[in-house]
Amino acid sequence: MNDMLTPELTATKRWTVAEIEALFALPFSDLLFQAQTVHRAHFDPNEVQVSTLLSIKTGGCSEDCGYCSQSKRHHTGVEQENLLELETVVEKARAAKEKGATRFCMGAAWRGPKQKELGPVLDMISAVRALGLETCVTLGMLKEGQAEQLREAGLDYYNHNLDTAPEYYGEVVTTHTYQDRLDTLDQVRGVGIKVCSGGIVGMGESRTHRASLIAQLANLNPPPESVPINMLVQVKGTPLDGAKALDPIEFVRTVAVARITMPKSLVRLSAGREQMDGPLQALCFQAGANSVFYGEKLLTTANPSAESDLDLFGKLGIRVMA
């Protein structure tokens, strides 16, 4: 495993957890060199894709995800709000495009949408797409026939994170199963919608668990087109508040391993960037990250401002993908 894998092999390989753990264990410079080699074979290393995420329905979720500020089972101070009006969403999407975003992601705090709730979201997708933006939604678990409706509305991406390894999942969520998540991904993939799926690290999981999560993602057929790597943002009132923070270098290793095992995917730095300084983010880009969420807020948690991101991109010579 110390022999360097070719970019061609990483694009077709089926990964074992042991092989991914061996990547994690490489000397840091060797790991980053391998990740850069794979990255350069498939992407311009000096470009980053920019997405903006908007909470279109906040709070009141029935699920017990241990990291989430929007669960009604947790006392986090997040108030339940109604679904946003179409005009508000279009205004936010237009502003995101003006700041350079190429994809607009809309998230609703649901176990899954009821049919009467899905209708307004379909209108949002169509309206945002009409602005010339790629569209993505994260709505929870889908019922039969809903993926087809999303496709017909013009949806480009559906986000549904696996969160963590299957063997650690019960430590984080108990109100739905890992298979529920895989089933939703199968539904959206089956109708031709692109998949956005990643995970959250720093939830008390082991390195083996992180390797197992990446194996699950990389061995999807095909792997997700977009892979968000989230650093846990600890929220007071959630069960995971007080979890031991993940070492920053281990986070960079996670990004690098995701890049090597999913060479054609956009690997996105997602939640947690507000807690990362510029040099740490620069290491993540060096490790193969080539996408970020852009804007001051990710659903309910803070995110760096667009101005600070542009300043960092300028220092690093990174261009925003058109």
- Indicate the SS3 state at residue 272: coil
Helix (H) or strand (E) holding 2: none
Q: Which of 103, 196, 210, 253 is catalytic?
A: 196
Per the structure block, which two tokens stand in for 279? 């040099």
Is 268 known to be catalytic? yes
Bridge pairing between strands 157-159 and 194-196: parallel
Bridge pairing between strands 194-196 and 266-269: unpaired
Is 61 known to be catalytic? yes
Is 68 known to be catalytic? yes
Is 284 known to be catalytic? no
Q: Which of 68, 103, 189, 273 is catalytic?
A: 68
Peptide bond into 222 cis (omega under 30): yes
Is 105 known to be catalytic? yes
Q: Which of 189, 268, 273, 284 is catalytic?
A: 268
According to the 3-state scheme, what is the secondary structure of 152-187? HHCCCEEECCCECCCCCHHHCCCCCCHHHHHHHHHH
Q: What is the largest CA-CA distance in the chain?
A: 54
Helix (H) or strand (E) holding 50: strand 47-57
What amino acid positions are annotated as catalytic residues? 61, 65, 68, 105, 136, 196, 268
